[in-house]
Amino acid sequence: MSLFRNFAAGLRSLFRKNQVDRELDEELGGYLEMEAAEKMNLGMSRKDALREVRLERGSLEVTRETLRAATWESVVETCWQDLRFAARILRKSPGFTIVAVLTLALGIGADTAIFSLVDRILLQPLPFAQPDQLVAITDWYPQGALVAMRANLHSMEVGAYWEGQELNLIGHGEPVRLYGTVVSANLFSLLGVRPEIGRTFSADEDQPGKDNLVILSHALWLQKFGGDANVIGHWVTLEGQARQIVGVMPTGFQLASATHSTPMRRSTPVQFWVPLHLDPRVVGAYWGSNFMPVIGRLHPGVTLEQAHSEVRAYIPQMRGMFPWKMPESLWASSTVIPLQEGLVGSVSMKLLLLFGATVFVLMIACVNVANLLLARSVTRQKEIAMRAALGAGRWRIYQQLLTESLVLATGGAAFGLLLAVNGLRWLKRILPADTPQLASVSMNWRVMAFTAGIALFTGLVYGTFPALHASRIDINESLKTGSQRSTVLTHRLRSGLAVAEVALGIVLVIAAGLLVKSLWELSQVNPGFRSDSVLTARITPNQSFCADFSRCLSFYSALLDRTRGVPGVEDAAVVNVLPLSGRINAFAGDLEDHPRDPKDPAPVISETIITPDYLRLMGIPLLRGREFTSGDMRPDAPPVALVTASTARKFWPNQNPIGKHLKRAWKSQWTTTVVGVTGDVNEYSLASRLPSFADGAAYVPYGNGAGAGVPRPAEMTLVVRATNNFSNLTQEVRNVVSNLNADVPVTEIRTLGTVVSESVDTPRSTMWLFSAFALLALILGALGIYGVFSHYVTERTHEIGIRVALGAKSNDILKLVVGHGLKLTLIGTSIGVMCAVGFTRFLSSLLYAVTPTDPLTFVIVSFVLTCVALIASYIPARRAARVDPLVALRYE
Amino acid sequence: MSDKPSDLVQGTLDMLILKTLALEPIHGYGISVRIEQMSKGVFRLNAGSLFLAIQRLERDGLIDGEWKSTENNRRARYYTLTAKGRKRLDSETREWGRQVAAIGRILEAS
């Protein structure tokens, strides 16, 4: 009850201030009158009574203030007072306020944007039921291993999925190629996700005969099926197989995994889910291909360690289940980890690096604002002294100065949020598409709380020290001398802060510089082929189309013929995988005269299936021997291959590779003859020619080598070298294909140049990010140094006036100021370089052909920053040099 | 001349004011006079501590204040004890008695 009373009384006092004041006055006044009357009754003369009463009245003023101060609403009032005053005083110096708020906005905005990424990707639990029970088994496992684990592991229920399944959808408008995921039937229930309509797969629906089902993604459902809820139960033909639609997943559901998706490949959103086809009789698929990541849900009461031990104990058994011998090193270091870690893994390091960068930027911003405040407090000495003389306690002054800092912080936070919202949009565009949960990153209340928190924190950090310092002034000193100069301590402090800024800036700009150089190095890599003027398109008939291979062969022959007939086309060829496209086709093979122990794993050779014109079209040189001819493309022609120069060098050093043989590891006879050597091509990435598991690369002709085990893919990529405008060409190609066969989708139409450039999307986006931060740091640093020197010059105006009056030329003044600037900059640069040497090692995984201590970068960055700092100090220096001594000497 | 009331522990001053009002509702000056009279001049309140205590007691709901006219036809704020105030007075008085007795016992021990 008293709480309510207190509250009500306080409110009344706040909102009916005048009335409450009058009442108080009346009450206290009445007290005095009664007291005077009493004294007169006791015999005092009226004059004496009134005098005593007047003395009492003096203390009554204090009484009034004491009464007011003892209430909760007075705290509110003083805060409100401070706020209004702070706003007024900040308005009076707009330059300072704008610079300070802008500085804070940049720092806080950057932090907020990155934090929303960190929050969604690293901190939020996965959007599945009871996510702390979910685990992932590292490494990849074939179908047979999955089935074995499902049956024999007691600590958890396991499921698996394979991303990157592509199926043609025929019969719903133009034929399209869909991208989806193959899942074990229990995967959805294991994760605990519910569909939007329909159902998910039941436990046994990944067996042959029961697996002709499909679940659609929300986007696909809207796009191709009109969002019609009756689609459940309908049948669609995917890749020639009829499947029944049983469910539609909610919007945005993905099992995106940065660690599991094929690196280098731009991942596309998942459009469908189909069950695995677990058939032990098809040994090749069951044990040999499409190794999958496995996830599990721990049974209640089971710990991660227990699951881990069980899996590790079971692995040797699983290894033995293969129909052929697998190396002992398989799964040797597999572990069980929490699912969050498994999905996020590789991204977390980068994200934390990024967050670290933003913290740097925020620190720089704080240093700047602290500097500015410190400088301002010097010019406000008189005002503060006046307040103290009028009776403000030290704490009250401190409170008021801190309020100003907090007002700045609030302004900074507000603008920072605005910047962050826009920055987030930009970030989502440039970050790689397979960043987990990228689509659901947003500004939610947690992020805003973070913003408010760091605004408050930074406000206290940069506000406290200047406020404490300013409130500690000696009243006498300040009022007497009337001069507003900073003490030696303040000077040192500000110089120290400027040095710190230069150092911090150097670290960030060096980091960005290293990344820029790295990207430049990547762009200079010769991928081994000519990427100008070539259009590529994936042609993807159903795999069953090639069951009758001659039909397939004649389709592609006709396609090439007709394409060559399109005006403007110089050349056309097909290839199974484009270089730098993120896809790779490889086999375990044996090479003649390169014996190995049967226990050792066979070398892995990347195999590119081409038509004869391919090499010429792509500008890949033939170094020895001959190219393929149309004769090689006949099924009955002897299997031939071309090897790349480095493959030949590796396996047949100092020998003539022409005429050597190679074969699949599981074949008993030498099947394929090498007929030529080509130049090296970057198949995998600009940074590394082949993936780490491949030992060599070879080309084989399309249609050849069935006896040698060369696959006959139905889907091939068409490459066309043309001279004319590509938008026409795109339509022409589509026409050619649909005229040949209306059920063949044409997808991923892009120029070869685009393919190459997209292959460095990730390093490029990282570079842009760091560059953005470096730019921020540069701007903030320059602003800060300018601020410091501006005040430095202002303070020394008097002194400069004296010097000029005594005969100093403007050059001397310039030298004085810029000399000081140079000294600080050099100190800052040295410190910064030393720190950079320590920190850039964390970037080494992101760099290509650039060492973390690349001297060129360090030198250039140091030079550039020194110049920027000097310019920032030169501008106030010029002002100093033009000082009129008469004015200056009067200037206090 | 007399002990300054600021030496009084805050709670004790509150108690004295409550007691004064228990006898009869009165305005602020009246409380001051009464306490001086009843204590035979030992306690003389200054306006500051008095009104501070009154504000506190009023906000805690122990006393109620109301504007009324005095004998001289002036306006003054008269305070009365509330039920809660009465209860507080009783418990404080009891507690005070206990403390006094205890201190007395200690001081008389030889």
In this predicted structure, what is the pLDDT of residue A487?
A: 65
In this predicted structure, what is the pLDDT of residue A263?
A: 46
- Assess whether pLDDT exceeds 70 at residue A480: no
Give the closest residue to A313 by CA, choosing from A501, A118, A155, A485: A155
Residue B87 distance to chain A (closest CA, Å): 14
- Assess whether pLDDT exceeds 70 at residue B49: yes
Q: List the single residue in B with minimal CA-CA distance to A10.
A: B59
- Assess whether pLDDT exceeds 80 at residue B80: yes
Q: How many CB atoms lie within 10 A of CB A408?
A: 26
What integer is the mean pLDDT of A312-320? Answer: 90
Looking at the DSSP bridge assignments, the partners of residue A588 are: A604
| DSSP symbol at B79 | E
Per DSSP, the three-state class of A652 is coil
**Per-residue pLDDT reduced to its tens digit, A149-165:** 999 989 999 999 888 78
Looking at the DSSP bridge assignments, the partners of residue A696 are: A605
CB-based contact B29 A31, cutoff 8 Å: yes
Q: Contact, A604 vs A691, CB < 8 A?
A: no
What integer is the mean pLDDT of A577-598? Answer: 83
Per DSSP, the three-state class of A539 is strand
* Helix, strand, coil percent values for chain A (each to nearest 5): 55, 15, 30
What integer is the mean pLDDT of A766-781? Answer: 83
- Assess whether pLDDT exceeds 50 at residue A670: yes
Q: List the single residue in A with minimal CA-CA distance to B69.
A: A30
A59 in B contact zone (CB under 8 Å): yes
State the pLDDT confidence band at A831, using cuts at 50, 70 and 90.
Answer: very high
Whole-angstrom Cα distance, residue A209 to residue A275? 11
**Of residues B28, B46, B60, nearest to A27 (C-beta):** B28
What integer is the mean pLDDT of A179-189? Answer: 89
Q: What is this model's ipTM?
A: 0.83
Looking at the DSSP bridge assignments, the partners of residue B69 are: B75
In this predicted structure, what is the pLDDT of residue A297?
A: 93
**Per-residue pLDDT reduced to its tens digit, A605-630:** 999 999 999 999 999 999 999 999 98
- Assess whether pLDDT exceeds 50 at residue B1: no
**Per-residue pLDDT reduced to its tens digit, A92-151:** 877 778 888 888 898 898 889 889 888 888 888 888 888 889 999 988 888 999 999 999
State the pLDDT confidence band at A648, using cuts at 50, 70 and 90.
Answer: very high
In this predicted structure, what is the pLDDT of residue A779?
A: 84
Give the closest residue to A310 by CA, choosing from A157, A191, A186: A157
CB-based contact A67 B51, cutoff 8 Å: yes
Alpha carbon of residue A135 to chain centroid: 24
CA distance to A214, A816, B80, B90, per residue, from B22 (Å): 86, 80, 8, 10
Neighboring chain A residues of B76 at a CB cutoff of 8 Å: 27, 30, 34
In this predicted structure, what is the pLDDT of residue A557?
A: 92
Per DSSP, the three-state class of A642 is strand
Give the closest residue to A366 by CA, choosing from A412, A421, A402, A404: A412
* Burial class of residue A58, CB neighbours in 10 A (0-12, 13-18, 19+): exposed
Q: List the single residue in B with minimal CA-CA distance to A36.
A: B29
Those residues with Cβ within 8 angstroms of residue A21's Cβ, 6 or more apart along the chain or in another chain? none
Q: Which of A3, A4, A5, A52 to mutate to test the interface with B (most CBs of B within 10 A)?
A: A5
Q: List the single residue in B with minimal CA-CA distance to A38.
A: B33
In this predicted structure, what is the pLDDT of residue B5?
A: 44
**Per-residue pLDDT reduced to its tens digit, A555-574:** 999 999 999 998 889 999 99
Q: List the single residue in B with minimal CA-CA distance to A27.
A: B76
Residues of B with CB under 8 A from a CB of A: 27-29, 32-33, 46-48, 51-52, 55-56, 58-61, 67, 70, 74-77, 84
CA distance to A384, A745, A871, B21, B70, per residue, from A177 (Å): 74, 6, 58, 92, 97
What integer is the mean pLDDT of A680-700? Answer: 89
| Long-range Cβ contact pairs of A202-206 (< 8 A, separation 24 or more) | A205/A275, A206/A275, A206/A276, A206/A277, A206/A278
**Per-residue pLDDT reduced to its tens digit, A219-274:** 888 888 888 888 898 999 888 888 999 999 988 787 755 444 444 455 567 889 99
Whole-angstrom Cα distance, residue B15 to residue B17? 5
Whole-angstrom Cα distance, residue B97 to residue B85? 18
CB-based contact B47 A63, cutoff 8 Å: yes
**Strand A534-539 relative to strand A716-722, pairing:** antiparallel
Q: What is the DSSP string of A745-793?
A: -EEEEEEHHHHHHHTTHHHHHHHHHHHHHHHHHHHHHHHHHHHHHHHHH
Neighboring chain B residues of A63 at a CB cutoff of 8 Å: 47-48, 51-52
Those residues with Cβ within 8 angstroms of residue A846's Cβ, 6 or more apart along the chain or in another chain? A350, A515, A518, A763, A766
In this predicted structure, what is the pLDDT of residue A433?
A: 62
Whole-angstrom Cα distance, residue A98 to residue A308? 57
Cα torsion through A838, A841, A846, A851, rounded to 10? 100
What integer is the mean pLDDT of A317-335? Answer: 84
Q: How many CB atoms lie within 10 A of CB A91?
A: 9
What six digits make up the tokens of A811?
A: 């050059």
Q: Which of A34, A64, A74 to mutate to test the interface with B (most CBs of B within 10 A)?
A: A34
A40 in B contact zone (CB under 8 Å): no
Whole-angstrom Cα distance, residue A494 to residue A491? 5
**Of residues B29, B61, B74, nearest to A2 (C-beta):** B61
- Assess whether pLDDT exceeds 90 at residue A575: yes
- What are the start-end ranges of the H helices in A320-393? 339-379, 381-389
A63 in B contact zone (CB under 8 Å): yes
**Of residues B32, B33, B52, nearest to A66 (C-beta):** B52
A189 in B contact zone (CB under 8 Å): no
Q: Give percent above pLDDT 70 in chain A.
A: 94
Whole-angstrom Cα distance, residue A431 to residue A426? 9
**Per-residue pLDDT reduced to its tens digit, A405-450:** 889 899 999 999 998 988 888 887 777 666 667 767 778 888 888 8
In this predicted structure, what is the pLDDT of residue A760?
A: 85
In this predicted structure, what is the pLDDT of residue A762?
A: 78
Residue B29 distance to chain A (closest CA, Å): 5
Neighboring chain A residues of B27 at a CB cutoff of 8 Å: 30, 34
Neighboring chain B residues of A34 at a CB cutoff of 8 Å: 27, 29, 76
pTM (predicted TM-score): 0.69
A-B contacts (CB, under 8 Å): 59
Residue A347 distance to chain B (closest CA, Å): 58
Give the closest residue to A225 by CA, choosing from A267, A272, A183: A272
What integer is the mean pLDDT of B90-109? Answer: 90
Least reliable range by pLDDT among A323-337, A483-497, A685-699: A483-497
* Burial class of residue A23, CB neighbours in 10 A (0-12, 13-18, 19+): middle
**Per-residue pLDDT reduced to its tens digit, A781-818:** 888 888 777 777 777 777 888 888 888 787 888 888 88
Compute the mean pLDDT over every residue in chain A, rounded to the nearest whole number. 84
Q: List the single residue in A with minimal CA-CA distance to B60.
A: A2
In this predicted structure, what is the pLDDT of residue A259?
A: 44
**Per-residue pLDDT reduced to its tens digit, A20-48:** 888 888 888 888 888 888 888 877 777 78
Neighboring chain A residues of B51 at a CB cutoff of 8 Å: 27-28, 63, 67
